[in-house]
């Protein structure tokens, strides 16, 4: 890690990507979207506050516009989707340390009680007593661990265009002989009033599309609608400009030059991926539509967290 640190020096832009901040005990939904426990997140933010200079998304876009000079070792904290525990568990930690953050919202899920398909699928596999079934997309399969088959089914659904996600998850519930998830998801995602309250306490907001599709799987017209309508909804609800977006799923397969072009045309100044970072400032300036981020997971202990901050994840990905 010391060698990696010397390689980067202060010349890097580090962006961290979180999803949920929650306890895994008695968790009913898709556990891999828990990025940290509240206690773990607090420890990570202590490291961030002492080793980096946290910036806001407004600082970053001002720098892109040529109106701001970044400090040494700048770091931006981001969250995806719009889970309520970002407010209950992450916001107090950030406020205490005076660290700004950016939350990318999938607007169809805010204030609706509608579950993300991965959470619905995980819920169904946890509820079923079956260990063999003819599942939509996968076909006849058997399993011993619900979490394993749940992750496999979710990944398969991400990559298929033959069936809609809402339709597929309802078919899954029927195949597993469990009731469709409805009231059980109430309160898992933020309301618009809660979003606005977070905005008063240091959060900024960007788009994560309307319905969280993989944009490269859509037609140009469909992708443009997801990009434009989500941005407009955010501006209508928040009463302020929205200049940033995070591509759903965010791997190299999930955006391309066409998506980047449509993103610029929709009015965005910067777009974030989940391609491992950090990045040199010149990389970000060269293409602000593909900004790298460092994904965090529940099993990232302090040593691994420090290694990721140092750039070990980017180096590992470049060798694979």
- Residue 153 pLDDT: 98
Residue 320 pLDDT > 90, yes or no? Answer: no
Please state the domain extents for the chain: 2-113+187-319, 117-184
Residue 27 pLDDT > 90, yes or no? Answer: yes
For 190-227, the pLDDT digits (tens) are 999 999 999 999 999 999 999 999 999 999 999 999 99
Q: 58: which residues sit within 8 A by CB, 6+ positions away?
A: 204
For 43-88, the pLDDT digits (tens) are 999 999 999 999 999 999 999 999 999 999 999 999 999 999 999 9
The strand ranges marked E within the chain are: 14-18, 20-21, 34-36, 53-54, 74-81, 101-105, 132-135, 139-142, 203-207, 244-246, 270-272, 294-295
Residue 319 pLDDT > 80, yes or no? Answer: no
Bond before 38 cis per omega within 30 degrees:
no
Spatial separation of the C-alpha atoms in residues 274 and 295, rounded to whole Å: 7
Token digits of residue 169: 């998850």
Residue 98 pLDDT > 90, yes or no? Answer: yes
Q: 27: which residues sit within 8 A by CB, 6+ positions away?
A: 34
For 220-279, the pLDDT digits (tens) are 999 999 999 999 999 999 999 999 999 999 999 999 999 999 999 999 999 999 999 999
DSSP 3-state of 315: helix
**CATH 3.40.50.1010, domain 2-113+187-319, yes or no:** no
- Residue 2 pLDDT: 63
Residue 8 pLDDT > 70, yes or no? Answer: no
- Residue 163 pLDDT: 82
């Amino acid at each position: 890690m010391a060698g990696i640190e010397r390689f980067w020096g202060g010349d890097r832009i580090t962006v961290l990507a979180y999803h949920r901040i929650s306890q895994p005990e008695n968790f009913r939904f898709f556990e891999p979207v828990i990025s940290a426990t509240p206690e773990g997140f607090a420890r990570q933010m202590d490291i961030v506050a002492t080793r980096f200079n946290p910036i806001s998304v407004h600082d970053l876009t001002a720098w892109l516009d040529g109106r701001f000079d970044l400090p040494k070792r700048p770091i931006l904290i981001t969250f995806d989707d719009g889970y309520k525990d970002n407010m209950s568990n992450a916001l107090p930690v950030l406020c205490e340390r005076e660290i700004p953050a950016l939350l990318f919202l999938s607007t169809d899920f805010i204030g609706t009680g509608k579950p993300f398909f991965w959470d619905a699928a995980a819920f169904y596999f946890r509820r079923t007593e079956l260990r063999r079934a003819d599942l939509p997309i996968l076909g006849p399969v058997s399993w011993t661990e619900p979490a394993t088959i749940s992750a496999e089914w979710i990944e398969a659904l991400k990559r298929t265009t033959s069936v809609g996600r809402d339709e597929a998850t309802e078919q899954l519930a029927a195949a597993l002989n469990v009731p469709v998830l409805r009231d059980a998801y109430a309160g898992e995602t933020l309301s618009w009033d809660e979003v606005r309250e977070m905005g008063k306490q240091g959060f900024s907001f960007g788009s994560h599309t309307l319905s969280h599709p993989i944009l490269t799987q859509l037609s140009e017209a469909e992708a443009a609608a997801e990009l434009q309508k989500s941005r407009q909804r955010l501006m209508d609800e928040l009463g302020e400009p929205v200049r940033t977006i995070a591509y759903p799923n965010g791997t190299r397969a999930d955006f391309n030059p066409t998506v980047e072009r449509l993103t610029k045309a929709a009015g965005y100044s910067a777009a974030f991926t989940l391609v491992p970072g950090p990045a040199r400032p010149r990389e970000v300036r060269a293409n602000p539509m593909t900004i790298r981020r460092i994904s965090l997971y529940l099993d990232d202990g302090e040593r691994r967290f420090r290694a990721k901050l140092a750039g070990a994840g980017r180096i590992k990905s470049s060798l694979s």
